[in-house]
A = this chain, B = another copy of it.
Amino acid sequence: MVESIPLETAKEVADAAEQRAEEIDNPMVITVANSEGNLIINRRMDGAWLASVDISRNKAYTSAALDMPTEDLAEPTKPGESLYGLQNTNDNNMVIFGGGYPLMENGDVVGAIGVSGGAVEQDMDVASSGVDRFDEL
């Protein structure tokens, strides 16, 4: 079954991520997608990189499409590893570095968050704030 999360919940998740981005003083693009990788909400903070609009959206897509954090794809997509080439599938919409996380409810993936705009660790930090908020709701 296709699961999703309500827009109001997605807004709260995005708000939490946006607040964390402000705390670390790094403008981000934040996307929340449903379990089929399609958009629920997308925000580009003032001054965030243009490139991050695509990357944020596709981190959410990738996490929803594979039910896993995007950081888990960095190793297995290296040349010689088992999933080398995955990054060229799905019309090149796969992102294989950190900043995308599934949103889970009772063990099911019901959506995903993708954040881009800083160093990968910062993207992961900000996206995690969104995940934490979702888990509290």
B79 and A50 form a contact (CB under 8 A): no
Q: Which residues of A contact B (CB under 8 A)?
A: 1-4, 6-7, 11, 34-46, 49-51, 53-55, 58, 62, 64-67, 73-74, 77-80, 82-92, 94-97, 119-121
Task: Give the distance in Å from the alpha carbon of A82 to the alpha carbon of B40 in the complex.
Answer: 26
Residues of B within 8 A of A11 (CB): 43
Q: Which residue of B lies closest to A6 (CB)?
A: B46
B35, B55, B85, B89: the one within 8 Å of A90 (CB): B55
B88 in contact with A88 (CB, 8 Å): yes
- A96, B85: Cβ atoms closer than 8 Å: yes
**Chain B residues with Cβ under 8 A from A49's Cβ?**
65-67
